[in-house]
Amino acid sequence: MLAGILTVTEMALRIFWRDKHALFWGIAFPLMLMGLIGTVFSDMDNLVLRTAVVIPDGGNPLSQGMLAALEDVRALEVVVEDEATALAALRRGDRSLVVVLPGDEATAALAGGGTSAPVPVRVYYDEARMQVAQAGLAIVNGIVHDINQRVTGRADVLAVEAAGVAAEQLSMFDFLLPGILAMGLMQSGLMGVSAVITAYRERLLLKRVLATPFPPAAFLAGLILRFTITNVIQGLIIVLVGVLVFGARVVGSYVHLLFLVLVGSVVFLTIGFAISTVSRTAEAANTMGSAVAFPMMFLSGTFWPRELIPQSLQPLIDVLPLTPLVEAMRAVVTQGESLAAHAAGLLYLGAWAVAAAVVAVRRFRWE
Amino acid sequence: MAQPQSAPAVPAIVVEGLVKRYGPVAAVDGISFTVARGETFGLLGPNGAGKTTTLEIIEGLRKPDRGRIVIEGIDALAEPERARALMGVQLQEAGLFDLLTVAETVRLFSRFHRRRVDVGALLERLQLTEKANARVRTLSGGQRQRLSIALALVNDPQVVFLDEPTTGLDPQARRNLWDVIRSIRDEGRTVVLTTHYMDEAEALCDRIAIVDQGRLIALDTPSQLIRRHAPGVKIHVTPAAVGDGTLEQLVETLAPLPGVTAVTANGQGEAVLYSDAFEETIGALVRMAKEGAIRYHSLRVEAANLEDVFLKLTGRRLRE
């Protein structure tokens, strides 16, 4: 019987390998998405940062010097504005950074010969655009450091004070990798499993198996094993390409990541089986799967932070099974968090798997 | 229906009082029959007659509402696993894995059975050796069907079920498959097949059960069925003139001729006479023509066949 299950798995893997559509959607599509989105967003960051510079108190030699230094940086497009206008523009997304230069207190600090505390250079940035902030802060930091060195040659007079969440060293690909990983698992289940099982039933292949003494559950076990194997391979390829080609970094444990891949695989596989009990034709299964998968893909924080999505949709996002998987994977990849920190999300995923399994077992038809 | 009484051998299949209802419709309405070992047994009937349902109940794929099935002495409803091990099943219109090769397909299905035959030898006898490494997708209709039969033989079964094995095949592929089915029988296996081709049933079956509307309406050897239900000959008469009412008039004129048991007008503009006294009927026809009472263009004489038996018994054609 085990030999029979393994033969089913082997044959199903052969079919997968020979099925150009399955290969495209399973392997090529996630890689393409990762490459495209990652590249587009990275390029946007590498464009010019529209930077508003606020000069209070009518200006002083120090702020004038800094303004000149900022204007010298090619990546910055500098506009001088008052603080309120600049912050409003930042909120609208019209500015990438707002740098508030020190006023008269800097002149005083300079006169004090560096004995007083450093005077803050306040930098505002958009929390949702972490890399923009990274790039901007790095530039401003560099300039401040330079000025500190040149002007005083001694202790720091100025220090950059970043307003906002303390930024991780995060690249677009670091962010994208766990999202794509979770998306691949979801697609394999919702579109792959459901379409394959429905097609086998529609074409009476399940009935053919039923007409042999082989336990039908063992046949399904062979197929489940095949999807688990291809899911792990798919995940492996996404991580390898993400890390080696796109330079993504996995901060946390690869073992934890593999565990999450297996969890996601089980959850979406059972949901795929459940869908296959509702659809009559493979086309219907595919349409149904896509109808569920695509909104989830865009909402659950796969490609961009869910905070970007309107508040009214947040309760829906909380319910989607892709959300906790993306969150747990992202926490492992970018923050190196432990799985225990995401126990609630994992339990929620387990509940989805159980519910889907109940539907699948109750409603499963062989023909 | 004389069964050989001398050998008290266990019959290959005993079916008793099979009933299967779908809502108010009885798809199978009390069918009973016995198939002897080594026999090729045909279930003949139009689409929707209940052939496939009957077969699938015997194969264990459907549960009957009532009835008893014994395969090689094993109660198939009580011990489906044991019964299934003895059976080879070819399903009507069942698909194959298009992206596997012929050899891979046979290897996969051979894993589903305890008893296995040599894959190479099996492919050889179904003339699939050349196609062993071809993807199933690339096979012709006849080759696919031979592969389907190979899967039914993969466990060296004692009883082989073939559900409409030649439907949709061209005449040459059908003949080729008939040879395959005969060879299965020649190996001593019991074969049960369904078909709606009466020539196929006549060519292959030792005995035929005619099924209509879920009931078994006749069961005998092909020649006995013809002798009993459609004796004599069929004479096709093509009228010389074609016009309104000509054919109907001809049918009326011919009905009282000696030896004529029935006259019908067929769809090709011919009057068809069934006669149990061929010479007298022909003599009368020729005499009438000489006297100018009828005018015909041609006469064609044929032995009656199973199609006629079916028509006689049900008032319908096999393939309508």
* CB-closest option in A15, A204, A210 to B93: A204
Q: To which H or E segment does residue A123 belong? A: strand A119-125
Structural domains in chain B plus CATH codes: 1-86+190-231+306-320 (3.40.50.300), 232-303 (3.30.70.920)
Q: Is the dihedral of CA A201, A207, A209, A213 positive or negative?
A: positive
Q: Are B251 and B239 in contact (CB under 8 A)?
A: no
Same domain, A303 and A190: yes
For range A240-257, the mean pLDDT:
92
For residue A129, the domain's CATH number is 3.40.1710.10
CB of A216 within 8 Å of a chain B CB? The answer is: no
* CB-closest option in B60, B95, B104 to A203: B95
Same domain, A98 and A175: no
Same domain, A92 and A66: yes
A293-325, pLDDT tens digit by residue?
Answer: 999 999 998 988 887 788 888 999 999 999 999
Angle at CA B209, nearest 5°, toward B206 and B215?
Answer: 170
B85-128, pLDDT tens digit by residue?
Answer: 999 999 988 889 999 999 999 999 999 998 888 999 999 999 99
For range A134-155, the mean pLDDT:
74
Residue-level pLDDT at A91: 84
Q: Does B81 sit within 8 Å of A213, measured CB to CB? A: yes
Rg value, chain A, Cα: 27
The backbone torsions φ and ψ at residue A272, rounded to the nearest 5 degrees and listed phi first, read -60, -45
Residue-level pLDDT at B317: 67
Distance, CA of B145 to CA of B205 (rounded, Å): 19
Instruction: Identify the CA nearest to A170 among candidates A345, A352, A336, A1.
Output: A336
Q: Which residue carries 């066949």 as its tokens?
A: B305
Same domain, A35 and A53: no
Q: In the predicted model, is pLDDT for residue A335 greater than 50?
A: yes
Distance, CA of A115 to CA of B256 (rounded, Å): 136
Tell me the pLDDT band of A265, cut-offs 50, 70 and 90.
Answer: very high
A60 or A289: which leads in pLDDT: A289
Distances (CA, A) of A122 to A45, A149, A158, A316, B260: 21, 19, 11, 37, 114
Distance, CA of B121 to CA of B108 (rounded, Å): 16
Same domain, A54 and A152: yes
B263-300, pLDDT tens digit by residue?
Answer: 888 878 888 888 888 888 888 988 988 888 888 888 88
3-state secondary structure chain B: CCCCCCCCCCCCEEEEEEEEEECCEEEEEEEEEEECCCCEEEEECCCCCCHHHHHHHHCCCCCCCEEEEEECCEECCCCHHHHHHCEEEECCCCCCCCCCEHHHHHHHHHCCCCCCCCHHHHHHHCCCHHHCCCEHHHCCHHHHHHHHHHHHHCCCCCEEEEECCCCCCCHHHHHHHHHHHHHHHHCCCEEEEEECCHHHHHHHCCEEEEEECCEEEEEECHHHHHHHHCCCEEEEEEECCCCCCHHHHHHHHHCCCCCEEEEEECCCCCEEEEECCHHHHHHHHHHHHHHCCCCEEEEEEEECCHHHHHHHHHCCCCCC
Residue-level pLDDT at B2: 44
Same domain, A92 and A9: no
Tell me the pLDDT band of A43, cut-offs 50, 70 and 90.
Answer: low
Q: Which two tokens stand for residue A331?
A: 């926490």
Same domain, A103 and A34: no
Same domain, A228 and A353: yes
Residue-level pLDDT at A168: 41
Distance, CA of A349 to CA of A326 (rounded, Å): 11
> Of A132, A162, A192, which one is at a domain's C-terminal end?
A162
3-state secondary structure of A120: strand
For range A61-68, the mean pLDDT:
81
Same domain, A146 and A278: no
A184-196, pLDDT tens digit by residue?
Answer: 999 999 989 999 9
Same domain, A346 and A199: yes
* Range of the structural domain that residue A124 is part of: 47-162
Residue-level pLDDT at B3: 47
B187: distance to nearest CA of chain A, Å?
Answer: 21
Measured N-to-C along each axis, helices A172-187 and A322-330 cross at an angle, to the nearest 10 degrees, of 140
Q: Which of A8, A11, A17, A197 to mutate to test the interface with B (most CBs of B within 10 A)?
A: A11
Structurally, chain A folds into a number of domains equal to 2
> Of A116, A132, A162, which one is at a domain's C-terminal end?
A162
> Of A162, A180, A196, which one is at a domain's C-terminal end?
A162
Q: In the predicted model, is pLDDT for residue A17 greater than 50?
A: yes
Instruction: Identify the CA nearest to A89 among candidates A129, A56, A125.
Output: A125
3-state secondary structure of A317: helix
Same domain, A103 and A249: no
Q: In the predicted model, is pLDDT for residue A145 greater than 80?
A: no
Q: In the predicted model, is pLDDT for residue A155 greater than 50?
A: yes
Q: Are B182 and B15 in contact (CB under 8 A)?
A: no
Strand partners, B80: none
Query: Taking CB atoms and an 8 Å cutoff, what residues of chain B touch A209?
Result: 112
Count of CB contacts below 8 A, A vs B? 63
Rg value, chain B, Cα: 23
Name the interface residues of B facing A (CB cutoff 8 Å).
Answer: 59-61, 81, 84-85, 89, 91, 93-97, 99-100, 104, 107-109, 111-114, 135, 151, 155
Q: Does A207 sit within 8 Å of B97, measured CB to CB? A: no
Q: What parts of chain B have a pLDDT lower than 50?
A: 1-6, 320
* ipTM confidence score: 0.81
Distance, CA of A132 to CA of A225 (rounded, Å): 43
- Average pLDDT of chain A is 85
Residue-level pLDDT at A116: 66
Same domain, A84 and A179: no
Q: Which residue carries 């989105």 as its tokens?
A: A37
